[in-house]
Amino acid sequence: MSTPAAGPALETSGLSKSYPTGALHRGRRPALEELTLTVSRGEVFGYLGPNGAGKTTTLKLLLGLLRADRGSARVLGVPHTERAWRHRTGYLPENPYLYDYLTPQEYLDYAGRLFGMPAAERRERSRQMLERVGLAESARVPMRRFSKGMLQRAGLAQALLNDPELVFLDEPMSGLDPIGRHMVKEVILGLRSRGRTVFFSTHILSDAESLCDRVALLRDGRLVTVGRLDEILRIDVSHLELLASGVDAGVLDRLPGLKARRALGERWSLEVEEKSLGPVVTAIQQTGGRVLSVQPVRESLEDYFVRQMGAKAAPRPGETA
The reported pLDDT for the residue numbered 213 is 93
Q: What is the pLDDT of residue 159?
A: 96
pLDDT number for residue 311: 58
pLDDT band at 235 (very low <50, low <70, confident <90, very high): low
Distance of CA 240 to the CA centre of its chain: 28
Predicted confidence at residue 4, as pLDDT, reads 44
Contact yes or no for 260/271 (Cβ under 8 A): yes
pLDDT tens digits, one per residue of 166-198: 999 999 988 888 899 999 999 999 999 999 999
Residue 237's pLDDT band (boundaries 50, 70, 90)? low
**Domains, in order of start, for the chain:** 10-231 (3.40.50.300), 235-298 (3.30.70)
**Contact predicate 125/158, CB 8 Å:** no
Identify the pLDDT of residue 295. Answer: 82
pLDDT given for residue 12 in this prediction: 96
Contact between residue 15 and residue 36 where contact means Cβ atoms under 8 Å apart: yes
Read off the pLDDT band of 18 (50, 70, 90): very high
pTM: 0.79
45/201 Cα distance (integer angstroms): 9
